């Protein structure tokens, strides 16, 4: 599936959002929250499907619309989740909403992580800060279908221990014997027992072998830029490196123009790309 | 079947007849600049002054500002009401071939993947009646861009100026049907065809500006990281956005909400890749520097659109050259792209 299924159009119009209700709010870090939500429409609640990596357009009606990935896993479909940092107009308006408030949702949009390609491979997840949100959807997806994938390494970091998102997931993955969880923070901090150093550096230490492996990278642009060369050094080919990108979007469906990287629209052709697809443009456009 | 023609002095009569079943839009200066506007029922003075409009005809399908839906917050939560699809039958009278080609180029974007209901509902019921150019601007370079001043490929009906009359070319089935139903058209005379051929040749010869686009897609790809070149190209640009807003193939739009008390509107409006806010996210902006935005504009038209749709998203209408306040010239830019295609892998 590369685009939203037309049966998910509200009122037959691709731009009209569905009304959804916030069911739970989780404070991840100061400024980052995960919102659990469900559609108001019962039929949609049952029929809505998506894949790990896809995103939605979320409305706070009256304030506007913004783009966030779905951070929950399709293997756990009783509700949907998205995770945002309070940095702009819409995310600030979201921050003022409580449980029970209504938001708008259009989607799911964009492509998804290529599960067929990942099947049977070793997987290395490389995440930074809130960039764990889309990876998390895939990580739970894989843990829920654990036997069809090989080794799983997760290298995740944030500036400080307080900036680590999804601490409850990190704990669960740390306990999971089938997953190698490596958590790092940029600088030493009191009481911190994990690694110290930026994510690309720790990834180099962990040094996952490139053979039969796929790396899935998401984080701030600067982390992504420094991670690809490390992977290359470890022997990864451009086709083995996947990332999911974030750009300013308005329409989400390849028409409003602004989210392109070269000839590719992040909304229409992504958000999941292999490094091979974007390397001509990524150095100077991302 | 013999060709038809219509006398120039009968154009008002013809438009009146077409007004019975269409919203007829014709060139007008009513708003202060030349644009397509609802025909007033009598004036055909545009036949004398009209060379091309300042505001391209895309505005009739993708308006500068357009309501997407209204919403209301009530006791039971939000209620959203999209407007009914605008399926009014529009007849654009006098569209130039360059702008008609631009409509075909816009169609590709609005049709691909998920269809855009606002644009396509208007577009599918529209009839384009082209008017061949007799007096192109110096800035026009349509003949280098796969069209020409009398090219009929993208219209339903084409009118060619043969002196006192317009010779009618019925191009599409839609056009043929309309002409078959139209009363009071004259049969073309034996030599009218030859007259039209002569008029076309004269018009083509008047488009003197040429642009060589051979291999441009690959050249731009190879020069994408040539910051020095793009800095030079962008130096005089003042990021006013005119070249994009008034480009007949540019479609970028913004989406915003307005809400007063419990009622609100979501609307879209023209936007431009020339504006720094266009790509600005709260934490970063991939095109903060002007040269990156100018590069985007040029590459979108001559590199990315061809990569996706196999067609250059420029029709040589010349508006971006005529209307630029600092004389930025796309043809000079395209001609000066360094050829590094041999140097890069």
Residue B53 clears pLDDT 90, i.e. is over it = yes
Which of A61, A280, A285 faces B286 most closely, judged by CB atoms?
A285
Contact A262 B253 (CB under 8 A): no
CA–CA min distance B229, chain A (Å): 14
Put simply, the answer to whether B257 touches A221 (Cβ < 8 Å) is: no
Note the pLDDT tens digit of each residue in A63-78.
Answer: 999 999 999 999 999 9
E strands, B211-341, are 253-260, 263-270
Q: Is A280 close to B259, i.e. CB distance below 8 A?
A: no
CB B223 within 8 A of CB B338: yes
d(CA A236, CA A214) in angstroms, rounded, equals 8
- Which residues on A lie below 8 Å from B113 (Cβ)? 2-3, 253-254, 268
Size of interface A-B (CB pairs under 8 A): 136
Contact B272, B245 (CB under 8 A): yes
- DSSP category for residue B57: G
Q: What is the pLDDT of residues A99-118, one digit of tens each?
A: 999 999 999 999 999 999 99
CB within 8 Å: B254 and A3:
no
Per-residue pLDDT averaged across A140-161, rounded?
A: 97
pLDDT tens profile A178-227: 999 999 999 999 999 999 999 999 999 999 999 999 999 999 988 998 99
Pick the CATH number of A115-244 from 3.40.1410.10, 3.30.460.10, 3.30.70.60, 3.40.50.80: 3.40.50.80
Residues of B in contact with A11 (CB under 8 A): 80, 82
Q: Which two tokens mark B40? A: 């007033």
How far is C-alpha B288 from the chain's CA centre? 28
Inter-chain residue contact A16 with B80, CB threshold 8 Å: yes
Average pLDDT of chain A is: 94
CA distance A176 to chain B (A): 34
- Report residue A270 as tokens: 């992504």
The shortest CB-CB distance from A257 to any of B221, B273, B307 is to B273
Question: Cβ–Cβ of A62/B259 closer than 8 Å?
Answer: yes
Does A257 contact B253 at a Cβ distance shorter than 8 Å? Answer: yes
Count CB atoms within 10 A of the CB of residue B94. 23
Mean pLDDT of chain B: 95
**Global pTM value:** 0.94
Mutate to test the interface with B, among A6, A19, A61 (most CBs of B within 10 A): A61
Using a CB-CB cut-off of 8 Å, the residues of chain A touching B264 are 61-62
- Cα separation, A207 vs A268, in Å, equals 33
CATH superfamily label, A6-109: Translation factors (2.40.30.10)
Window from A13-27, B139-153, B158-172, B277-291 with minimum mean pLDDT: B277-291
Residue A142: helix, strand or coil by DSSP? helix
At B237 the three-state DSSP class reads coil
Of the candidates B77, B303, B304, which has its C-beta nearest A19's C-beta?
B77
Contact by Cβ (8 Å): B252, B270: yes
pLDDT bucket at A5, cuts 50 / 70 / 90: low
pLDDT of residue B266: 98
Is the pLDDT at A238 greater than 80? The verdict is: yes
Instruction: Please give the pLDDT value at position A1.
Output: 40
Model pLDDT for residues B73-91, shown as the tens digit of each residue: 999 999 999 888 898 999 9
Domain locations in chain A as residue ranges? 6-109, 115-244
Choose the closest CB to A250 out of B113, B255, B284.
B255
Distance CA A111, CA A5 (A): 12
Nearest to A256 among B71, B253, B292 (CB): B253
Q: How far apart are CA A203 and CA B261, in angstroms?
A: 52
């Amino acid at each position: 599936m590369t685009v939203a299924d037309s049966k998910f159009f509200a009122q037959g119009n691709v731009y009209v959002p569905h009304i959804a209700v916030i069911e739970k709010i989780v404070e991840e870090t100061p400024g980052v929250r995960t919102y659990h939500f469900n559609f108001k429409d019962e039929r949609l609640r049952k029929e809505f499907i998506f894949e790990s990596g896809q995103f939605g357009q979320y409305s706070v009606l009256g304030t506007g619309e913004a783009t966030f990935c779905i951070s929950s896993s399709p293997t756990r479909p009783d509700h949907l989740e998205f995770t945002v940092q309070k940095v702009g107009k819409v995310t600030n308006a979201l921050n003022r909403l409580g449980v029970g408030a209504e938001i708008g949702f259009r989607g799911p949009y964009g492509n998804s992580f290529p599960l067929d390609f990942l099947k049977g491979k070793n997987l290395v997840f490389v995440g930074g800060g809130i960039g764990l949100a889309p990876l998390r959807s895939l990580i739970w997806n894989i843990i829920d279908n654990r036997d069809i994938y090989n080794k799983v390494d997760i290298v995740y970091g944030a500036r400080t221990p307080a900036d680590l998102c999804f601490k409850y997931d990190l704990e669960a993955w740390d306990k999971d014997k089938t997953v190698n969880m490596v958590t790092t923070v940029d600088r030493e901090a009191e009481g911190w027992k994990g690694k110290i150093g930026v994510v690309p550096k720790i990834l180099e230490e962990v040094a996952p072998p490139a053979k039969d492996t796929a790396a899935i990278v998401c984080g701030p642009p600067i982390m992504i830029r420094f991670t690809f060369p490390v992977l290359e050094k470890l022997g990864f080919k451009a086709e083995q490196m996947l990332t999911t990108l974030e750009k300013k979007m308005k329409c989400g469906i390849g028409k409003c123009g602004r989210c392109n990287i070269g000839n590719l629209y992040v909304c229409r052709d992504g958000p999941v790309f292999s490094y091979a697809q974007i390397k001509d443009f990524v150095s100077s456009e991302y | 079947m013999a060709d038809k023609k219509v006398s120039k002095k009968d154009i008002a009569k013809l438009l009146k007849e077409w007004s019975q079943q269409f919203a007829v839009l014709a060139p007008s200066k009513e708003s202060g600049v030349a644009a397509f506007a609802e025909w007033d029922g009598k004036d055909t003075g545009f036949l004398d002054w009209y060379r091309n409009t300042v505001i391209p005809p895309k505005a009739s399908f993708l308006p500068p500002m357009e309501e997407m839906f209204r919403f209301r917050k009530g006791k039971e939560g939000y209620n959203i009401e999209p407007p009914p699809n605008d399926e009014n039958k529009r007849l654009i009278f006098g569209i130039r071939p360059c702008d008609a080609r631009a409509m075909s180029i816009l169609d590709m974007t609005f049709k691909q993947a998920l269809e855009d209901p606002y644009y396509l509902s208007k577009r599918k019921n529209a009839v384009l009646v082209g008017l061949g150019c007799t007096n192109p601007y110096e800035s026009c370079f349509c003949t280098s861009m796969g069209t020409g001043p009398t090219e009929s490929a993208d219209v339903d009906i084409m009118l060619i100026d043969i002196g006192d009359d317009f010779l009618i070319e019925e191009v599409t089935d839609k056009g043929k049907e309309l002409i078959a139903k139209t009363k009071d058209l004259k049969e073309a005379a034996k030599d009218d065809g030859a007259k039209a051929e002569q008029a076309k040749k004269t018009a083509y010869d008047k488009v003197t500006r040429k642009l060589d686009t051979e291999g441009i897609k690959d050249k731009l790809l190879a020069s994408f990281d040539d910051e020095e070149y793009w800095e030079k190209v962008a130096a005089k640009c003042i990021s006013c956005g005119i070249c994009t807003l008034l480009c007949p193939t540019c479609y970028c739009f913004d989406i915003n909400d307005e809400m007063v008390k419990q009622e609100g509107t979501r609307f879209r409006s023209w936007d431009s890749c020339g504006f720094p806010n266009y790509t600005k996210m709260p934490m970063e902006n991939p095109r903060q520097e002007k040269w990156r935005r100018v590069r985007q504009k040029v590459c979108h038209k001559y590199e990315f659109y061809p990569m996706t749709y196999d067609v250059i998203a420029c029709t040589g209408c010349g508006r971006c050259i005529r209307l630029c306040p600092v004389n930025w010239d796309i043809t000079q830019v395209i001609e000066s792209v360094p050829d590094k295609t041999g140097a890069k892998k």
